[in-house]
Structure 1
Amino acid sequence: MTPPPRIALTGIGVRLPGGVHGPDRLWDALVTGRDLTGPIPPARWERMLPQLSSDQVPERPWVAGVIDDVDAFDHGFFGVPAHEAARMDPQQRLALEVAVEALADAGIPLTSLAGTATGVWAGVAAPDQAALALRSGAPVRMADLSGLTFSMLANRVSYHLDLRGPSITVDTACSAAGTALHLARRALQSGEVDTAIVIGVNLLRHPGITAGFADAGVLAPDGTCRPFDARGQGYVRGEAALALVLRRTDTATRSRDRVYALVSGSAVNTDGRSPAGLYAPRAAAQRDLLRAAYADADLAPASVDYILAHGTGTAAGDAAEGRALAQVAATARADRLPVGSVKSVFGHAEGASALVGTAAAALAVHHGVLPPVPNHTRLRPSLARLPLRVPTRPEPWPQTSRPRTAGVSAFGLGGSNVHIVLEQAPGTPPAEETAASPAHRLLAVSAPSEVRLRGTAAAWAPVVADADLGATASTAQHRRAHEKVRAAVVVSSAGQAAEALSALAGGHAHPALVGPHTAPEKPGRLVWMFAGHGSQHADMAATCYAALPVFRQALEEARAALAAHLGRQPWRPGEPITGFET
């Protein structure tokens, strides 16, 4: 039986605690093994919940992983009226931001998706906005209603990008984002969509919900999450917003996309009626889940190199998960199975946690490094004899003759479980070799406004300084939308490009900088024309002919059309000039 096609993960948009913004900073946070959680100051509740009186703001400084600047939102860029942006669920605002960032990371111009059957699947579980709107006593307006239903989270993204594919929000508690990814993968495999955007968001807006988790005894009383550790007493809540761009591998190959990892398998199931109760994890169901996911990937469960576990740090959760892994994925191994968790870095992102784990595992597979788990010293006694281990420092990927593989688990509070299987992607095809390279490159920069243009230039300047100028210019030209306000940098080195971008960011002139200018509402078509009194010099246009495939193809088509009228093949750039009148 032919295994289902792998799905390529080509873009990552990230907002996580500790100022982690983008996949590069995410990887840095993972490999350095920092705990980015900390006390939530009371001022945060007061700022985010103005309708609460001072005696309703908790005195206890609970610990959590908190995202910075969650209220900063460019409503004009997203076409949301200011009054609506102020009242809409902030999880929707973050979903819009990370979706756009993931598409930029994937090199997909936003305008290229308009009208296509691109789908959006979102996972979310935090009901804080609905609780706030109903508690405040103020009249409920349409902008509030959009925050009372989770469906709008996916719908906002589909609307902004003018997408025509499925637009679905999933709530299976802590497995929500992973279940959304599973559904998106199925739609890609069936051909229902060519591109899928998967989103996971979790924000802590209402202190009463955190108080409820504390009363339930699942939060660590010492404010530290210690997955699988003998000292673990619970988890720490966390905020997160992530978006992943998924494409079928044939689409990604045709587009020459950079691929972080392949999603080679996935499965969802539920605990059913657990003898320990609705909220208790069930090892038997997790064993079934693992077997189903690796069967879906056409891989033996024991062949997996690394597991990014759910890993909450609770006694019951760690024990059930550890037993399931030992009985399915850690059998017949010469060494102990490496098991990690991101919850001791960012906190438990609940509805978004599966996407945090998937992004982290994909980067680990991509870089070939096992990230450490902070706050871990020794395994729980219940796990000590199992063939499992927890990395406490960055490690090279285990030696293997196969593509690197990793699994990601997420388990919902009510028993909804998901496991994702990731696999190392083949290398990105090299760029086409050209006979000649232009002496100068044109780096296009654009944004919806001059303010955002300067911000983009400021962000690009330090990156361009150390990048391949040709690849950067090509990406800017072909893999980003060209917005209303535009500038161009014409340079011969990455250092010059960084200088010109810095000048643009500061509003200064630079010899290599053209613009900024505002593009016309209806731009004309571009035509290359070499007119006048015949050839101005021998080998005119030879550089363009050698370096630009589209130009070369057009010239060859013109040669073929002229040959019938001239009785001979016209001269092409680079050929000796013989037998022609000059």
Structure 2
Amino acid sequence: MATDSAQNTKLVAALRSALKENERLRGRNRELDRRSDPVAVVGMGCRLPGGVDSPEGLWDLVEQGTDAIGPFPEDRGWDLDAVLGGSEPLSAMDQGGFLEGAADFDAAFFGISPKEAAAMDPQQRLLLELSWEALERAGIDPSSLAGTPTGVYVGLMAAEYGPRLSDAPEDGHLLTGTMPSVASGRIAYTLGLAGPALTVDTACSSSLVALHLAVRALRERECSLALVGGATVMGTPGVLAEFSRKQGLSADGRCRAFGAGANGTGFAEGAGALVLERLSDARRNGHRVLALVRGSAVNQDGASNGLTAPNGPSQVSVVRAALDDAGISPDGVDAVEAHGTGTTLGDPIEAQALIEAYGGERGAPLLVGSLKSNIGHTQAAAGVSGVVKAVQSLLHGTVAPTLHAEEPSTHVDWDSGAVRLATRAHPLPDLGRPARIGVSSFGISGTNAHVILEAPPAEAADTGAPASARESGPVPAPRTLPFVVSARGEEALRTQAARLSAHLGAAPATDPGREPEGGPGEHAALVATARALATTRARLEDRAVVLASDTGGLTAALDALAEGRPDAALVRGRADTGGSVAFVFSGQGSQRLGMGRGLYEAHPAFARALDEAVDALDCHLPRPLRTVMWAREGTAEAELLDQTLYTQAGVFAVEVAVVRLLESLGVVPDHVVGHSIGELAAAYAAGVFTLEDAAALVAARGALMQDLPEGGAMVAVQAEEREARQAVARSGGQLSVAAVNAPDSVVLSGEETAVAALADHFARQGRRTKRLTVSRAFHSPLMDPMLGAFARAAERVSYHRPVLPLVSNLTGARAGEEVREHGYWVRHVREAVRFADGVAHLHKAGVTEFVEVGPGGVLSSMVQSCLGGDRGARVTALLGGERDEQRGFAEGLAALHARGAHVDWSAYLPPGPVTALPTYPFQRERYWMNPPAGGRVVVETGAGATAAGGGAAPGARADLTALGDDERTEALLDLVRRESAALLGHASPRDVRSDQGFLEMGLDSLGAVRLGERLSAATGLDVSATTVFDHPEPRVLAAHLSAELAPEDIDASQAAGGDERVRAALARIPVDRLRSAGLLEALLALDTGVAAGDAGEDGAAEEEGANTDVDSMDVDDLMRMVYGRD
């Protein structure tokens, strides 16, 4: 026993040791994986002197050897006479690398009010726009990153924009507008990013240090993606004055980097942004890899020759640390984009450090250059600008020339190592390994950074498909392709279209897949463009979809959109996230030969669903359903489709497949309603039946009706239900009202003579009548002989509680537990179809989008009649008419998308590569705070120059209460828009849309307080910030205030206010968010007064309590509940 115990102890110890060793090895493997998975640059954006607004523009500038130094800007409120004139000017340099339009910004795009935009440091504004652009260039929809662990790393120096905080306008925006830390936080806030957000200030090395930190964070899995940026805009000439005192500026503002004529640095402005991702993730996501960050390092000069003096040994050390991080030797780097400021002290120290670190034994000399020779020293943006240039050099295989250095500095021993100044363009050497370029950036406070970039692997360089697409193999694309374009504002949408058309026209023939129109590769190129538009661009409010199958049709429609002309291939709309969606299922009479065949050929999801439905039905039918549906016209089989047995089965099968296709595209209903046999398809969609049970019930229904003797008639009559029923009662014949299709449209059904006589009665009164092409009189007493047999068939079916609100044909209201009983479906055969009541119920419940999913498009006109011309509700027929089926379906999806429905276009198109696209056309306006003049800060916005301050002009409550309801509401709407415009800094109330959310237009909580105060003063009402946000659009708020000013209608106004409040909440929250949170039904019940018990007796008490809780919440509580925030 003792021996066994000792052996067991040894065994346990050995196991423990082995487990610890395994854990250590796993940790080591994770570390190796982190080090062996390089970080990739997948997107870039920049704004630099010389009008450079893209990485391609920067390459054109440096490749052509352009000098971008120019005169001082005249639009910043600077006293240029004092800055440049006199015997002792503030600035020792008389030119510089200044940005054009540094004051310009698209505030509305980012939901920022004009006043806040004017208070924002232009560096923050530039970084917002460039982050968006860089993500688009990376093939990433910026809006898709919300909630993801994406990091933001921004390099900035001290801001000099705007007045002192103590002199700021009383808008509360200058603090956040000028704090450097807010630059990174604002990007994260605007895009909803949840990763680290840091602003780095190490002076001139800030943005390269930010890049180093981002690389480390990606390696350590602190973030999944990283935005890196840097920006410098000189809000005042203060930095120029200070460096002039230090005698550090070049007289003409030019950096003669490493040149014999170097005489000081030339300060400049600029901004850049990078998107970084682990290489493995970039490959998996199909993102084009521009370059790899092979290694990086940061260090400090420490106690050297002076706080601001460069330190050669520290520079050597940081280069060697970066080489060690990259795991390469010095001769593995081909060129260096140097700091190169053009100073007589700094350049020689840097050059000698490069010679010591890189200039040993090499196969080819190290090429050294500096972007500062072209554009000047962009300060905090210098590092990121150098990276953009270096990446472009790797992509083009060329080192661009450095200017103003034809004669190298005589203070450098150029012969002491294999280092050469690139005074002309040099091709990167082909040494059988990837080309590499180092980038240096040194801060005046002593923080040094060096990054080593590597050309991307060949398989990752091209724009590719996600890994899942490459593995799944080719999938055919539909003939008609959707090209989705969106923007914020009509002008931006038109500009977007113009830029896309020009881009397509200018695309070189060498692009992958680009061939002359009609060539075999044209369609593949178009698919890549459609896919890029669908997957790499945000879906904004103003929308258009071009449906085209060739380049000519696409560009013609884009040109029409750009010019404001209609085009048959163009679908336009504006997204409205309020309201909900109902699917409408048609019944007998919507069938047609070939129905579903076009979708079957184009969409695998439809084909799979139709196959399943047909298989479930065929075991109950004498002939295979597909051979009947797709029979050749004029054949005996084609005639079978009009027989009830095949008609009802075919319509059901196609509707099931259309719903499944829509689900695969992300289009799902909030409600379903059918017409006659269509209700069985609607019930299947709502989960009442399994497919097999539904098929058995549909087949039994059709077969039993088919077995009835032929005879009887059905006639559509222009008449109200009441008068039709009275006429039926007086006739005494064997007939009934079979359907109420619209308020003034019914269908009479029954014995032929009786129906004909009653139809003639209405025709003599001038009413429209139309005999329906049917062989039997459905929903009439003539159906009675089949009811017993059908009841027995229905008893064999299992029924389930609907998972979606299903509207009953029998009641015209939401169905309850009765649909789980077979007797309901027996009554359904015999009783009238109350379709008009069903549509009215849905309309009242907040449905604004009715989507007909049947094969014939026969119900859309009925729905429109029921809606009574309400422009807020739309009807879309996906199939039917004379349209090609694929084209018609695409047009229907495009219409839904244009009006704000979620359509997953990536699922509509096969997986594959995407192509590069133009970036968003920001609609910029001028925003600038000029220095104090006469004791007042002058703020320039898109509305023009105004002195800070102002107040509301109070109105007269008596005048408002004396107006009629409509007039009072419009007057209050004008008031709300006027006060909102004044608060936000708009030039005119017309700039405030009546249907735009206050949050969307940039009104924050402080602004809501001030708006409430102004409206209280003008109306005499108590208008709080909560009131503003509970009624979150100008029109909704005006309607609420109008009701408050009508005391005689207080009860009605309170009820209306409750409805209004819920609708406002719905309008603010996308329906899919409500549905996923389980809140949609509760809100709709509040809005429509539907009793909680309608969902079933067993859930009545629970739902009633839930509705009470929701009713007690304000809108902000609802928002937090929907989005899962405390």
Q: Is 1:388 aligned to 2:419, yes or no?
A: yes
- The one-letter amino acid paired with 1:22 is S
> For 1:180, which of 194, 206, 210 is the aligned residue?
210
The separation in 1 between residues aligned to 2:613 and 2:359, in whole angstroms, is 66
Q: Secondary structure, in 3 states, of the residue corresponding to 1:99?
A: helix
Cα distance in 1 between the residues matched to 2:149 and 2:404: 44
Decide whether aligned partners of structure 1 residues 290 and 555 sit closer, same or farther in structure 2, where only a CA change above 3 A counts: farther
Corresponding residue number in structure 1 for 2:494: 454
Aligned mates of 1:63, 1:350 — CA distance in 2: 16
Counterpart residue identity of residue 108, structure 1: I
1:429–1:463 distance in 2 versus 1, CA, 3 Å: closer
| Preserved CA contact (<8 Å) 2:116 2:177 | no
Alpha-carbon distance in structure 1 between the residues aligned to 2:240 and 2:536 = 42
Distance 1:351 1:430, change over 3 A: closer
The 10-residue stretch of structure 1 (431-440 or 417-426) with the greater mean CA deviation from structure 2: 431-440
Q: Identify, as 1 or 2, the structure richer in helix.
A: 2
- Asked if the contact 2:72–2:96 (Cα under 8 Å) also holds between the matched residues in 1, the reply is yes
Whole-angstrom distance in 2 between the partners of 1:562 and 1:252: 42
SS in 2 for 1:279: coil
Higher mean C-alpha deviation, range 20-29 or range 436-445: 436-445
Equivalent position SS for 2:229 = strand
From the superposition, tell whether residues 272 and 555 of structure 1 become closer, same or farther in structure 2 (CA, over 3 Å): farther
CA distance in 2, matches of 1:69, 1:437: 43
Whole-angstrom CA distance in 1 between matches of 2:602 and 2:205: 52
Given candidates 61, 77, 80, the residue that maps to 1:49 is 77
Contact 1:64 1:347 in 2 (8 A): yes
Task: Kindly provide the CA deviation profile for residues 413-458 of structure 1, in whole angstroms up to 9, marking residues without a partner as x.
Answer: 0110011111111233755564655444321110121121112122
- Whether the 8 Å CA contact 2:548–2:554 is kept in 1: the answer is yes
Distance 2:205 2:174 in 1: 26
Q: Is residue 2:350 matched to residue 1:321?
A: yes
Does the aligned pair in 1 maintain the 2:548–2:569 contact within 8 Å?
yes
Map 1:467-546 onto structure 2 (within 5 A).
467=507, 468-515=525-572, 517-522=573-578, 536=594, 540-541=598-599, 543-545=601-603
Note if contact 1:177-1:198 (Cα within 8 Å) is conserved in structure 2.
yes
| Match status 1:220 vs 2:250 | yes
Q: Is the 8 A contact 1:240 1:352 kept in 2?
A: yes
Question: Which one of the candidate residues 143, 153, 158 is aligned to 2:173?
Answer: 143
8 Å CA contact 1:465–1:495 kept in 2: the answer is: no
The higher-RCO structure (CA 8 Å, 6+ apart) is 1
Contact 2:37 2:280 in 1 (8 A): no
Amino acid at match of 2:148: T
Could you tell me which residue of structure 1 aligns to residue 398 of structure 2? 369
In structure 2, the CA distance between the partners of 1:162 and 1:522, relative to structure 1 (3 Å rule), is same
In structure 1, what is the Cα distance between the partners aligned to 2:607 and 2:354? 61
Separation in structure 1 between the aligned mates of residue 488 and residue 532 of structure 2, nearest angstrom: 19
Q: What secondary structure sits across from 2:212 in the alignment?
A: helix
How many Å separate the matches in 2 of 1:535 and 1:258?
46
Shift of the 562–253 alpha-carbon distance from structure 1 to 2, 3 Å rule, reads farther
8 Å CA contact 1:58–1:207 kept in 2: the answer is no
- Provide the C-alpha distance between the structure 1 equivalents of 2:551 and 2:504, rounded to a whole number of angstroms: 6
1:414 to 400, 420, 445: 445
Letter in 1 for 2:437: A
CA shift, 1:394, in A, is 2.9
Question: In terms of mean alpha carbon deviation, does 448-457 or 434-443 score higher?
Answer: 434-443
SS at match of 2:163: helix
Q: Is the 8 A contact 2:94 2:251 kept in 1?
A: no
Cα pair distance change 1:74/1:186, threshold 3 Å = same
> Which letter maps to 2:245?
D
CA deviation digits over 1:88-126, x for unaligned, max 9?
211111111111111111121122111112111100114
Decide whether the 8 Å contact of 2:479 with 2:549 is kept in 1: yes
**What is the identity, as a one-letter code, of the residue corresponding to 1:419?**
H
Contact 1:124 1:171 in 2 (8 A): yes
Describe how 1:431-442 pairs up with structure 2 within 5 A. 431=465, 434=474, 436=476, 438-442=478-482
Query: Does 1:246 find its partner at 2:303?
Result: no
Residues in 2 aligned to 1:530 and 1:14: alpha-carbon distance in whole angstroms: 54
Worse overlay, 395-404 or 114-123: 395-404
Change (3 A) 1:540 1:459: closer
CA contact (8 A) 1:119 1:196 kept: yes
Q: 1:526 to 1:499 in 2, by over 3 A?
A: farther
SS in 1 for 2:438: strand
Q: Does 1:299 align with 2:334?
A: no
Q: CA deviation at 1:533?
A: 5.3
- Determine if contact 1:226/1:376 at 8 Å carries over to the other structure: yes
Identity of matched residues, %: 38
Contact 1:173 1:350 in 2 (8 A): yes
SS at match of 1:315: coil
- Which amino acid is 1:296 matched to? D
Match of 2:164, SS state, is: helix
The aligned counterpart of 2:236 is 206
| Residue of structure 1 in register with 2:113 after alignment | 81
Relative to structure 1, the CA distance from residue 539 to residue 410 in structure 2 (aligned partners, 3 Å threshold; closer, same or farther) is: same
Task: Provide Cα deviations, 1:399-424, integer angstroms capped at 9, x if missing partner.
Answer: 12111211110000011001111111
Give the one of 33, 36, 43 matched to 1:11.
43
Q: Tell me, yes or no, if the aligned pair for 1:308 and 1:408 is still in contact at 8 Å.
A: yes
Q: How far apart in 1 are the matches of 2:322 and 2:612? A: 55
The one of 272, 282, 290 equivalent to 2:311 is 282
Q: How many residues get paired?
A: 559
Give the aligned partner of residue 182 of structure 2: 152
* Structure 2 CA distance for partners of 1:566 and 1:93, relative to 1, 3 Å: same
1:517-563 superposed Cα distances (whole Å, 9 cap, x missing partner): 11221587899x99975972897446525xxxxxx367558768987
Q: Alignment partner of 2:173: what SS?
A: helix
Please say if residues 200 and 242 of structure 1, whose CA atoms lie closer than 8 Å, have aligned partners that are also in contact: yes
- Residue of structure 2 equivalent to 1:549: none
CA distance in 2 between partners of 1:289 and 1:228 (Å): 20
Which residue of the partner structure matches residue 857 of structure 2?
none
User: Hey, what's the Cα distance between the residues in 2 that align with 1:523 and 1:417?
Assistant: 56
1:102 matches 2:106: no
- Is 1:273 the counterpart of 2:303 in the alignment? yes
Equivalence for 2:64: 32
Contact 1:306–1:337 (Cα < 8 Å) also in 2: yes
More strand by share: 1
Give the residue type in structure 1 aligned to 2:98: V
Q: Is the 8 A contact 2:253 2:376 kept in 1?
A: no
Rounded to whole Å, the distance in 1 between the matches of 2:220 and 2:480 is 45
Distance 2:357 2:155 in 1: 27
Cα distance, 1:39 vs structure 2? 2.3
Distance 1:560 1:126 in 2: 66
1:192 Cα offset (Å): 1.3
CA contact (8 A) 1:466 1:494 kept: no
Unaligned runs of 5+ in 1: 546-551
**Structure 2 letter corresponding to 1:48:** R
Structure-2 separation of matches of 1:261 and 1:451: 35
User: What amino acid does structure 1 have at the position aligned with 2:490?
Assistant: E
CA distance in structure 2 between the aligned counterparts of 1:513 and 1:557, rounded to whole angstroms: 30
Instruction: Find out whether 1:312 has 2:341 as its counterpart.
Output: yes
- The separation in 1 between residues aligned to 2:485 and 2:222, in whole angstroms, is 34
Q: Say which one has the larger Rg.
A: 2
SS of the counterpart of 1:243?
strand
SS of residue in 1 equivalent to 2:440: strand
The corresponding residue for 2:1099 is none
**8 Å contact from structure 2 (residues 96, 252) kept in 1:** no
